[in-house]
Amino acid sequence: MQTELDGRVAIVTGAAGAIGRAICRRLAENGARVVVSDVVEGAAQAFAATLPGGADRVMACRIDIADPQSVESGVADVLRRFGQVDILVNNAGINTQAHRVPIDAFPPSEWDRILRVDLDGTYFMSRAALAPMLARGAGGRVVNIASVVGLAALRLQSSFVAAKAALVHLTRAMALELGPRGVLVNGVAPGSVLSEGTRALFYSPDGSFAGRTAEFMDHVPMRRPGTPEEIAEAVLFLSAPESSYVTGQVLAVDGGWTAGSAF
């Protein structure tokens, strides 16, 4: 699709990752001024330099969403540069790689680390970006990147599953609170996507679940993982002026995985 985001300022967190990069690109292609924010500043800068529009339309920014101070100073940098925030894409998130274990063996420090980024970080980031968005009174959009694991539970990643289910419901609560103030809040729940993380776990020969990919794909009617661009397309629609009566929705982009039982 093609839409008009001319002049709008979009912050994308976790923007140096595969899905984040695709989201930034689609927003930029449709005219938005894009803030490429990531906890890894160098990666954000390197990617920002590849986007169309140059320094007038693109900025890189280090934001660690788990750290409220980093979030506040990042949003302040954005306001100094672009003067407003219209779209926030809460894309940053982490999952466990090393601790693929059931809950009775799940390390408390890993539980805290994941919840701190995926859930607390989304709250910190939303709070900080909503302040100028609401103050300006011109409306706005928030798109939370959840996961199908927030809709259909999976094993051996309880903290991630719990955090993503929380994001699904947080999206709905935010939509109800912010709708009367002109800010629409929706979620995208990606299925399995070819990104750095899933490649390490599933789609490379030395991943913990290597060799089980086919078994896993039996549950996905489209029989393949998704691409970052396919996730970005849904984010683009939910950021576009045309989705102005859509709020509180969590759209799974998952090749039919959560449509029902495939057996």
Partner 1 sequence: MRVDLDRQGFAIGGENTAVSRALAAALLDNGAAEIRAGISDILILSLPLCPGPGFDWSAQKALAREAGAAMQARGPGEGRGRILFLLSAAAALPLRRFPDYSADMAAALAFMRALAMQLAPEVRVNALGAGLIGDPPLAGDPAMLRHAALERPGTISELVDAALFLLDPRATYLTGQMLSVDGSWSVGYGRNF
The residue ranges that bind partner 1 (CB under 8 A) are 1-4, 172, 175-180, 184, 191, 221-224, 226-227, 229-231, 233-234, 237, 240-249, 251-256, 258-260, 262
- Angstrom distance (rounded) from CA 64 to CA 84: 20
Nearer to partner 1, 61 or 146 (CB): 146
Cα-flanking dihedrals φ and ψ of residue 190, to 5°? -70, 145
Side-chain half-sphere exposure of 247, counting CA atoms within 13 A:
20
Kindly tell me which of 73 and 243 has the beta carbon lying closer to partner 1.
243
Please state, in angstroms and rounded to a whole number, the distance separating the CA atoms of residues 82 and 104.
47
Whose Cβ is closer to partner 1: residue 29's or residue 41's? 29
Pair of tokens at residue 219:
């549950």
Contact assessment for residue 207 and residue 159, using Cβ atoms and an 8 Å cutoff:
no
Nearest distance, CB of residue 41 and partner 1, angstroms? 31
Please list, residue by residue across 160-176, b when 16 or more beta carbons sit within 10 angstroms of its beta carbon and e when fewer do: bbbbbbbbbebbbebbe
CB of 186 to partner 1, least distance (A): 10
Q: Are 192 and 219 in contact (CB under 8 A)?
A: no
The nearest distance, CB 211 to partner 1, in angstroms, is 23
Is 43 or 168 the residue whose CB approaches partner 1 more closely? 168
Q: Which of 164, 154, 130 is nearest to 220 (CA)?
A: 154
What is the nearest approach in angstroms of partner 1 to the Cβ of residue 1?
5
Nearer to partner 1, 64 or 230 (CB): 230
What minimum distance in Å lies between the beta carbon of 183 and partner 1?
10
Q: What is the closest distance, in whole angstroms, from the C-beta atom of residue 181 to partner 1 in the complex?
A: 9
In sequence order, which residues have a C-beta less than 8 Å from that of residue 243 and are 6 or more positions away? 184, 186, 237
Minimum CB–partner distance for residue 223 and partner 1 (Å) = 6
* Residue 28 vs 175, nearer CB to partner 1: 175
Q: How far apart are CA 165 and CA 148, in angstroms?
A: 9
Residue type, 198: T
> In one letter, which amino acid is 1?
M
Residue 95 phi, psi dihedral angles, 5° rounding: -135, 170
Residue nearer to partner 1 on the CB measure, 68 or 256: 256
Q: Residue type for 50, please?
A: T
